[in-house]
Chains A and B, each alone.
Chain A
Amino acid sequence: MMQFMLLFSRQGKLRLQKWYVPLSDKEKKKITRELVQTVLARKPKMCSFLEWRDLKVVYKRYASLYFCCAVENQDNELITLEIIHRYVELLDKYFGSVCELDIIFNFEKAYFILDEFLLGGEAQETSKKNVLKAIEQADLLQENVDFQTRLFAAPT
């Protein structure tokens, strides 16, 4: 399973952190610091995998953002790379040509989309259509509720 996913910029600013294992805040900060440093020190032509502590780290850079996942030793590295890619595709479809700013200003949406795709560190739904449908349905639900409350609100 995936233990955590971190998204950070080239300057090391953390844009998203999803933890699938229980850790204290202090430990999370320490891990983040160390791992960000390690990944940023890698050169462009190096391979996308590295061994870190007792985990495997799979990372890929998309424009100004590094997507970094820590998986367990028996996990498949290449499919994790494609998990990252699929997540980027989902963000891209939702935001329409996603960029780092989208994730900064709509961070909560990034988490919601992630939750539809991965849960408990495992891939939940691998059909892009289905994930996006689920998110759109939720958005629609919100509009419906708003509509209903407006329509059926009792006059005070």
Chain B
Amino acid sequence: MPAVSKGDGMRGLAVFISDIRNCKSKEAEIKRINKELANIRSKFKGDKALDGYSKKKYVCKLLFIFLLGHDIDFGHMEAVNLLSSNKYTEKQIGYLFISVLVNSNSELIRLINNAIKNDLSSRNPTFMCLALHCIANVGSREMAEAFASEIPRILVAGDTMDSVKQSAALCLLRLYKTSPDLVLMGEWTSRVVHLLNDQHMGVVTAAISLITCLSQKNPDEFKTCVSLAVSRLSRIVSSASTDLQDYTYYFVPAPWLSCKLLRLLQCYPPPEDGAVKGRLVECLETILNKAQEPPKSKKVQHSNAKNAILFEAISLIIHYDSEPNLLVRACNQLGQFLQHRETNLRYLALESMCTLASSEFSHEAVKTHIETVINALKTERDVSVRQRAADLLYAMCDRSNAKQIVAEMLSYLETADYSIREEMVLKVAILAEKYAVDYSWYVDTILNLIRIAGDYVSEEVWYRVIQIVINRDDVQGYAAKTVFEALQAPACHENMVKVGGYILGEFGNLIAGDPRSSPLVQFNLLHSKFHLCSVPTRALLLSAYIKFINLFPETKATIQEVLRCDSQIRNSDVELQQRAVEYLKLSSIASTDVLATVLEEMPPFPERESSILAKLKKKKGPGAISVTELEDSKREGGELNGGSDRGPDTAAMSASNASTPSPSADLLGIRSAAPINAAPAGAGSLLVDVFSEAGPAAPSTAVNDDGFLRFVCKNNGVLFENQLLQIGIKSEYRQNLGRMYLFYGNKTSVQFASFTTNVSCPGELQSHILSLISEVIASLSS
């Protein structure tokens, strides 16, 4: 414990704290606190003006009580009074109180700002620092308004002391973050950048945080900092450990400053100037080399500081993504860390490698470590490290190793921590779909997912597997068979029942030939799970039952019996009751043809952005998506074309195909058509005008009136349809340019020959629109 002379230790406070510590129960503590609060209240209200020391003591006690977790609703005025004391410790306590208990009373704010202003202009560096610390701690808008113009002046003034400059820099940073509009750097920019050359390392350390933040928002204005940063870094990296005196930390020269410099450089692309770039590359190589040298000290602080710089340098190398030599070296260094004794280093190496995996130069190098990573997934005792390993496997997955990685992730999932299961499920689902060459593998993977982690399989995942099975003829039989087998397990997850019910309802006929999976067997299997399921699942099963009646007339009587019973038609849930009643009636009165039409096989789902990917992004938050996903989403986002309703219109768009999208079309929609930009609504009306004039003049039958009115707010759709021909339109607009695709669909069973089209642009619109019309093939197959 320090001697009392180190500032005056307040005895009353120490006694109070002791009392609190000695309280045997929560009630006793509250009682003691209330007693003290009453005492302080009376002292503050009392007739006698309190002396500075007492005020300080009581304000400090209030602060202590607040920090214990109790609410304090008085004392602000007294704290503000302390600010105007000329005794340093009193001022200090006053500032501490108002920084911790921020009050939005405008009168108090005015007084506080006044006190700060006085201290800032006092020319006493210690007082100035106190004021600056307070502004940095509170950072309110009122303070920004009052001081945002004053602080840059203090920062760059020649006669400001170094310690004040440091505080000013970080104070300004805080104000900039909370009120960027009030901090105008304009005239100060070059002088702030010049602080990077200051001889006082502390000033540079503080200034660089400010510069980094400003560079992110105004890169062009601050780009002169790059070469200064490189030379500073170079000087530090090549310095001996005695050069920097007290800025050397356990034999590592200026580690904080080095990390900050490397961080600043990550705000910019690689330097264009050859000399600067050369120096920087040399720096990075030196840092990588040093990592291989034997350590100068056994202390963990030394290795932490050294490795902190190393990891930051690797981040920079990854950010640049342009020096293959450095990237490979970085990858190798991380590979070494993957097997290091220290858990921290293994964790950081796994994390760093994730970003490295998305760079084209190092992707292959990263893949060479797959066995180590899989081993980490299986053997690491720390769940955070295992999670990093799972993330890295996801990032390094590509076609060559997808099957292996998905298998490993599935087996990890069986014992994974519950908090991470949902994310793992989403990732496995995404990988399985993205790299599936053989869709029966995909179906197996998803069904395994449901079996292993059914509770965490969100709707998006099982909707997706059904969409894919519906869209792919070749996997339907396999899916039906697999689902049937899976359902036979004694305890199967409800999601499995949902998927199974849907698939058997659609494709049960594909396995009905085998006596082991005859219609009645299928029905009994599903119905055996019926009573164990929740209401939405039961609703789905009822729909499956009516589909069975259509597919397998021989089951009609049995199923009707089930639908007829009281637990269905008198079910307390409205949805179930309605379904049971309606399906029962439907099965009784509809002829086989009508039934077949109503319960026709589901048409293929249109391609749309994978909702699984969207859900994963939402879970992980914006900062955490890997680069590849970011690129994918940019492409996908471009395709969505503003509107969400692409259902029936997609069918019209494929010129010569029938309504099924081609089998090779990527289901995630990643590699399909080039991105389109959404058009402003105004341009749509132009479209309407063009066609309304062309309409009556055209020799063919009139266009549907309501047909083209839709195009005021939609860019795509069916323009015209009769028994022979369907004309679909797709358009895109960008500023003053527009492009329209017209698709002609032949609805007959014979081929059209000599098919010509004529697009005219009548009247005054011709002078407004410059149109380029390309040729259409003369024959249109049916």
Q: B246, A130: Cβ atoms under 8 Å?
A: yes
> Is B14 in the interface zone, CB < 8 Å from A?
yes
In this complex, the member of B7, B384, B387 whose beta carbon has the largest number of chain A beta carbons within 10 angstroms is B7
> Is A10 in the interface zone, CB < 8 Å from B?
no
Q: A108, B304: Cβ atoms under 8 Å?
A: no
Chain A contacts of B604 at CB under 8 A?
Answer: none
Q: B202, A107: Cβ atoms under 8 Å?
A: no
Q: B63, A124: Cβ atoms under 8 Å?
A: no
Instruction: Say how far A20's CB is from chain B's closest CB, in angstroms.
Output: 8
Chain A contacts of B627 at CB under 8 A?
Answer: none
Chain A contacts of B89 at CB under 8 A?
Answer: 142
Instruction: Say how far B210's CB is from chain A's closest CB, in angstroms.
Output: 9
Q: A73, B623: Cβ atoms under 8 Å?
A: yes
Stretch at the interface among B342-350, B371-379, B716-724, B737-745: B342-350
A97 and chain B: residue at smallest CB distance: B1
Chain A contacts of B496 at CB under 8 A?
Answer: none
Q: A124, B137: Cβ atoms under 8 Å?
A: no
Q: What string of 1s and 0s marks CB contacts (under 8 Å) between B284-317 and chain A?
A: 0000000000000000010011011001100000
Instruction: Say how far B109's CB is from chain A's closest CB, in angstroms.
Output: 15
Instruction: Say how far B363's CB is from chain A's closest CB, in angstroms.
Output: 22
Stretch at the interface among B252-260, B454-462, B573-581, B654-662: B252-260
Size of the chain A interface, CB-CB below 8 angstroms: 59
Q: A54, B311: Cβ atoms under 8 Å?
A: no
Q: B137, A129: Cβ atoms under 8 Å?
A: no
> Is A63 in the interface zone, CB < 8 Å from B?
no
Q: B2, A78: Cβ atoms under 8 Å?
A: no
Instruction: Say how far A61's CB is from chain B's closest CB, in angstroms.
Output: 14
> Is B6 in the interface zone, CB < 8 Å from A?
yes
Q: B246, A106: Cβ atoms under 8 Å?
A: no
> Given A96-B2, A106-B9, A142-B88, is A127 in contact with B621 using a C-beta cutoff of 8 Å?
no
> Is A35 in the interface zone, CB < 8 Å from B?
no
Instruction: Say how far B98's CB is from chain A's closest CB, in angstroms.
Output: 13
Q: A141, B126: Cβ atoms under 8 Å?
A: yes
> Is B489 in the interface zone, CB < 8 Å from A?
no
Q: What string of 1s and 0s marks CB contacts (under 8 Å) between A17-53 and chain B?
A: 1000010010001000000000000000111111100
Instruction: Say how far B437's CB is from chain A's closest CB, in angstroms.
Output: 34
> Is B44 in the interface zone, CB < 8 Å from A?
no
> Is A64 in the interface zone, CB < 8 Å from B?
no
> Is B650 in the interface zone, CB < 8 Å from A?
no
> Is B64 in the interface zone, CB < 8 Å from A?
yes
Within 8 A of A (CB), among B307-332: 307-308, 311-312
Instruction: Say how far B126's CB is from chain A's closest CB, in angstroms.
Output: 5
A105 to B9, CA, bound (A): 9
In this complex, the member of A22, A111, A112, A126 whose beta carbon has the largest number of chain B beta carbons within 10 angstroms is A126
> Is A151 in the interface zone, CB < 8 Å from B?
no
Within 8 A of B (CB), among A73-119: 73-74, 76-79, 81-83, 85-86, 94-96, 101-102, 104-109, 111-112, 115, 119
Q: A47, B343: Cβ atoms under 8 Å?
A: yes
A146 to B17, CA, bound (A): 26
> Given A76-B311, A108-B60, A119-B171, is A127 in contact with B67 using a C-beta cutoff of 8 Å?
no
Q: A109, B384: Cβ atoms under 8 Å?
A: no
Q: B202, A50: Cβ atoms under 8 Å?
A: no
B173 and chain A: residue at smallest CB distance: A120
Q: B301, A77: Cβ atoms under 8 Å?
A: no
A101 and chain B: residue at smallest CB distance: B1
A75 and chain B: residue at smallest CB distance: B263
Chain B contacts of A129 at CB under 8 A?
Answer: 246
Q: B6, A139: Cβ atoms under 8 Å?
A: yes
B262 and chain A: residue at smallest CB distance: A76
A16 to B246, CA, bound (A): 27
Chain B contacts of A139 at CB under 8 A?
Answer: 6-7
A156 to B136, CA, bound (A): 41
Instruction: Say how far B417's CB is from chain A's closest CB, in angstroms.
Output: 12
A108 to B312, CA, bound (A): 34
Instruction: Say how far A82's CB is from chain B's closest CB, in angstroms.
Output: 5
A46 to B202, CA, bound (A): 34
Q: B201, A127: Cβ atoms under 8 Å?
A: yes
Partner of B173, one of A51, A96, A122, A145: A122
Chain B contacts of A143 at CB under 8 A?
Answer: 5
Q: B170, A78: Cβ atoms under 8 Å?
A: no
Instruction: Say how far A154's CB is from chain B's closest CB, in angstroms.
Output: 15
Chain A contacts of B139 at CB under 8 A?
Answer: 22, 120
Partner of B257, one of A50, A73, A126: A126
Partner of B305, one of A79, A105, A120: A79
A50 and chain B: residue at smallest CB distance: B384
Instruction: Say how far A86's CB is from chain B's closest CB, in angstroms.
Output: 8
> Is B360 in the interface zone, CB < 8 Å from A?
no
Q: A119, B93: Cβ atoms under 8 Å?
A: no
Q: A95, B2: Cβ atoms under 8 Å?
A: yes
Q: B206, A108: Cβ atoms under 8 Å?
A: no
Instruction: Say how far A16's CB is from chain B's closest CB, in angstroms.
Output: 8
Q: A112, B92: Cβ atoms under 8 Å?
A: yes
> Given A45-B343, A125-B205, A129-B246, is A76 in contact with B88 using a C-beta cutoff of 8 Å?
no
Partner of A127, one of B8, B202, B301: B202
Q: B347, A120: Cβ atoms under 8 Å?
A: no
Partner of A107, one of B64, B259, B385: B64
In this complex, the member of B171, B263, B304 whose beta carbon has the largest number of chain A beta carbons within 10 angstroms is B304
Q: A106, B307: Cβ atoms under 8 Å?
A: no
Instruction: Say how far B8's CB is from chain A's closest CB, in angstroms.
Output: 8
Q: B255, A82: Cβ atoms under 8 Å?
A: yes
> Is B247 in the interface zone, CB < 8 Å from A?
yes
A102 to B69, CA, bound (A): 20
> Is B32 in the interface zone, CB < 8 Å from A?
no
Q: A94, B259: Cβ atoms under 8 Å?
A: no
Chain B contacts of A105 at CB under 8 A?
Answer: 1, 14, 17
Instruction: Say how far A142's CB is from chain B's closest CB, in angstroms.
Output: 5
Chain B contacts of A102 at CB under 8 A?
Answer: 1-2
Q: A73, B2: Cβ atoms under 8 Å?
A: no
Q: A120, B382: Cβ atoms under 8 Å?
A: no
Q: B86, A145: Cβ atoms under 8 Å?
A: yes
> Given A54-B623, A78-B304, is A46 in contact with B384 using a C-beta cutoff of 8 Å?
yes
Q: A142, B14: Cβ atoms under 8 Å?
A: no
> Is B697 in the interface zone, CB < 8 Å from A?
no
Chain B contacts of A95 at CB under 8 A?
Answer: 1-2
Chain B contacts of A74 at CB under 8 A?
Answer: 263, 623
Instruction: Say how far A14's CB is from chain B's closest CB, in angstroms.
Output: 7
Q: A124, B96: Cβ atoms under 8 Å?
A: no
> Is B166 in the interface zone, CB < 8 Å from A?
yes
Q: What string of 1s and 0s marks CB contacts (under 8 Å) between B573-601 and chain A?
A: 00000000000000000000000000000
Chain A contacts of B255 at CB under 8 A?
Answer: 79, 82
Q: A123, B167: Cβ atoms under 8 Å?
A: no
A109 to B92, CA, bound (A): 10
**Besides the known contacts A76-B308, A115-B137, A123-B205, 16 further A-B residue pairs in the complex with CB atoms under 8 A apart:** A1-B209, A45-B343, A47-B344, A85-B304, A96-B2, A104-B21, A112-B96, A119-B206, A124-B170, A125-B202, A126-B202, A126-B205, A126-B247, A134-B163, A139-B7, A142-B8
Q: Which residues of A approach B to under 8 Å, CB–CB?
A: 1, 14, 17, 22, 25, 29, 45-51, 54, 73-74, 76-79, 81-83, 85-86, 94-96, 101-102, 104-109, 111-112, 115, 119-120, 122-130, 134, 137-139, 141-143, 145-146
- A to B CB contacts below 8 Å, 16 in the list: A54-B621, A54-B623, A76-B312, A79-B256, A79-B304, A82-B249, A105-B1, A107-B67, A108-B96, A112-B92, A119-B174, A122-B170, A124-B167, A126-B247, A130-B246, A141-B126
List of 8 A-B pairs having minimum Cβ-Cβ separation, nearest first: A78-B308, A119-B170, A79-B308, A120-B174, A47-B343, A127-B246, A122-B209, A120-B170
Q: Which residues of B approach A to under 8 Å, CB–CB?
A: 1-2, 5-9, 14, 17, 21, 60, 63-64, 67, 69, 71, 86-89, 92-93, 96, 102, 126, 129, 133, 136-137, 139, 163, 166-167, 170-171, 173-174, 177-178, 201-202, 205-206, 209, 246-247, 249, 254-257, 259-260, 263, 301, 304-305, 307-308, 311-312, 343-344, 346-348, 381-382, 384-385, 387, 621, 623-624
